[in-house]
Amino acid sequence: MLPKPPALKHRFDVRVYYEDTDMGGVVFYANYLKFMERGRTEWLRAVGVNQSTVAAQEQRAFMVTELNIRYLKPARLDDLLQIESEVTRMGRASLHFHQTIRCEGELLTQSDIQVCCVETVNMRIAAIPKSVRTKFAVTIQE
């Protein structure tokens, strides 16, 4: 039986820099994906998972396999954004996240993202390692 997804909802703040924007000072659409990637990485760190260690010791990595994103309002130069990440489902080899980006409480972007665990050698889907699942289980019980 697969464990329930962690109830942890993680928040990560990121400032919009000039490099993130177009000439009008509006965040380039693809950069929202970078902000969300950072949010998922910080979520993993918060539950005790270091992706470099998992890659080196378990020969496993996480990669995005599906993405649905909705852009509601633009972020702008110097905005302080709140990236919220929450696991909505956990499979044997996948994590499903709902992520939002807000600025001063106002919803700018929302997404549903599926991330799969893959073997680093052949990039084929593989089960999430037990060492990682154990950290998720500890988070659930806290």
13 among known catalytic residues: no
| CATH numbers and ranges of domains, the chain | 9-141 (3.10.129.10)
CA 40-121-48 angle, to 5 degrees, is: 30
- What pLDDT is recorded for position 38? 97
Q: In terms of DSSP bridges, do strands 60-71 and 9-15 run parallel, antiparallel, or are they unpaired?
A: unpaired
Q: Which residue has the tokens 């997404």?
A: 111
Q: Quick one: tokens of 68?
A: 């649905």
- What pLDDT is recorded for position 5? 47
- Helix H or strand E segment including 36: helix 31-46
* Confidence grade of residue 64 (pLDDT, cut at 50, 70, 90): very high
* Confidence grade of residue 134 (pLDDT, cut at 50, 70, 90): confident
Q: Which of 13, 20, 22, 112 is catalytic?
A: 22
Q: Quick one: tokens of 95?
A: 């994590």
Per-residue pLDDT, averaged over 2-21, amounts to 81
What are the angstrom distances between the C-alpha of 26 and each of 3, 21, 55, 98? Answer: 41, 5, 35, 23
Q: Quick one: tokens of 63?
A: 């990669």
* Confidence grade of residue 136 (pLDDT, cut at 50, 70, 90): confident
